[in-house]
Structure 1
């Protein structure tokens, strides 16, 4: 079984996921071609190689001309539904944004349809989420695992004012997921990154038995005391032999030696 493991020791954000996917082998031309199926214009996606703490990584940036546009969940859903993307890509992207909307709804005590997306409703966040779904589908990954999630600590300035880290929406999304601060006074995990990994990961913890075949690094924006990268490993699950299978294998070896 083909699997992916996201090592979020420095947190996870939408652009870090995209960077890791490109770094592990998703062609940027393919990604841009698929994203062009969205009814979005006046934006530019760029990817470049950078260095974070002596590790080479791919940094993705999305530059958009729009300013001051605040979208709701129905707005974002309409954008995705009116795209020419494959049905499974559309449904997965909508599920991720619904997680974001439900988290904001609970925090602000508003109905899901009336929640205003600020940062996560901007073009760059839409591109990050849809791009992540496109990239994971391209890799034909059947199962996703993740490490415990580093969130950072302190406070962060947002459209809602100063908020504690992890931001309330991030924490709401990561309920039942093992998290830790990492003792770093920065926002390491964003709501978008949290929603992406929560949608895909079937387990969290140390790297399970995997035959790793590809490794990619997606760069964060800032320099930290640790390499500010999201590490992605892609490979095949190593099947655990049952006790009976091990005994049969040992018996076969002994028979061949006699």
Structure 2
């Protein structure tokens, strides 16, 4: 699956996003054609530049002078008039809706009453529509981003002096991890925040992917200690083998006030409820008291129900839980023909190489009792027969 990662270490703006999309491989001719088809006189050209010693692409939007403050429905009409695919129009409209919702929340008004000032200007419309087209052309199905630096200080807007991030930008960044950068500038603009938060669903510093291409989009400002660029990583998502790997949850609690019988009963209850494994580890607790670490390996879907059993059966006051990636063998039940008769066993296989045979205890124990022979002799016969 194609994925795209935003490395916005110095923030993100509309023109940086558009330049980075072009640099990472989006068809610039098709972006230009899409913008010209809007019928509002906007054009875009792309040029190669250097920012802080790094090569990048700058998106330069040319738009006729105007002094209009548009509402959302005005912008939707502009988008509808363009020669864009349905997916491109939908993404552009979702980005503008994200902006409208943020401005409405910041100013305490309805979406219909929101006046787009700076972001309603033709150059910002071009940035957003161009980004929507570029994102669609790249074909990525999943988007991630590192934490987002906003900058700080005050900037001049149509509303007057505003803090950084502006109220609209701050509203869009709710729930987004932010990064501290000591630069008294607006590093993340409303347009950039809208593009980013509309498509990104995963916030992580580095994605699980095989990088095929890296692109860089240039911003307008220059800084003495860092390149003012936005990097995009385009590639294929790393897909762990479902057959040989999965994610489980480890639940643990420390106990020093339960009897062995209670532990055994809790083991049985947890296994019956779907626990993958249950274990206990002797430990020495505070004041030298003997205790144990009671652990459960749980499927993700059963964490809550298994925790409830732990709370109910052990009277613990707290449970630690953390996810763990599990490597595992593929498994199948087999019947091994032995000189004692057929015996059930499990056959494990790891990626077509390592194989393990595990005799079923109940079958082996039954035969050992019936034939009055040692259990280990039955086990050895199962392994011998399975390997021959």
TM range (shorter): over 0.9
Q: What is aligned with 1:221?
A: 220
How much has 1:209 moved relative to structure 2?
Answer: 1.6
| Equivalent position SS for 1:188 | coil
- Summarize the alignment of residues 57-96 of structure 1 with structure 2, pairs less than 5 Å apart: 57-96=56-95
**CA deviation string 1:158-196 (max 9, x = no partner):** 111111111111110111010123111110000111011
Tell me how far 1:63 sits from its aligned partner: 2.0
Q: What residue number does 2:7 align with? A: 7
Larger Rg: 2
1:191 aligns with 2:190: yes
CA distance in 1, matches of 2:23, 2:354: 42
Q: 1:252 aligned to 333, 348, 353, which one?
A: 353
Looking at structure 2, the residues matched to 59 and 120 of structure 1 have their Cα atoms a distance apart, in angstroms, of 19
Where do residues 130-145 of structure 1 align in structure 2 (5 Å cutoff)?
A: 130-145=129-144
**Structure 1 195/245 Cα, relative in aligned 2: closer, same or farther at 3 Å?**
farther
Higher strand share: 2
Provide Cα deviations, 1:176-234, integer angstroms capped at 9, x if missing partner: 01012311111000011101111111111211221000110001111112110000000
Match of 2:22 in 1: 22
Runs of 5+ consecutive residues of structure 1 not aligned to the other structure: none
Within 5 Å, give how 1:137-156 maps onto structure 2. 137-156=136-155
Secondary structure (helix, strand or coil) at the match of 1:34 reads: helix
CA distance in 2, matches of 1:234, 1:248: 34
Displacement after TM superposition at 1:237 (Å): 0.7
CA contact (8 A) 2:4 2:142 kept: yes
Correspondence for 2:31: 31
Q: Which has the higher contact order (CA 8 A, sep 6+)?
A: 1
Which residue of structure 2 aligns with residue 47 of structure 1?
A: 46
Cα distance in 2 for residues equivalent to 1:249 and 1:49: 49
Deviations 1:49-91 (A, max 9, x none): 1111111101112121222111111111121123232111111
| Secondary structure class of the residue paired with 2:217 | strand
Shift of 1:254: 8.2
- Cα deviation 1:94-117 (Å, max 9, x = unaligned): 111011111111122222111110
For residues 65 and 211 of structure 1, do their structure 2 counterparts lie closer, same or farther at Cα, with a shift above 3 Å needed? same
Q: Secondary structure at the match of 2:61?
A: strand
Q: Is the 8 A contact 1:170 1:191 kept in 2?
A: yes
Unpaired segments ≥5 residues, structure 2: 246-326, 331-347, 357-388
How many residue pairs end up in the alignment? 254
TM-score, length of structure 1 as denominator length: 0.93
For 2:31 and 2:83, locate their aligned partners in 1 and report how far apart those are by CA, in whole Å.
14
User: 2:128 matched to 1:124?
Assistant: no
Contact 1:49-1:56 at 8 Å conserved across structures = yes
Aligned-partner SS, 1:116: coil
SS of residue matched to 1:163: strand
Range moving further from structure 2, 84-93 or 209-218: 84-93
Range 144-153 or range 32-41, more displaced: 32-41
Distance change >3 Å, CA 14–CA 236, structure 1 → 2: same
2:110 corresponds in structure 1 to 111
The answer to whether the 8 Å contact 1:153/1:181 transfers is: no
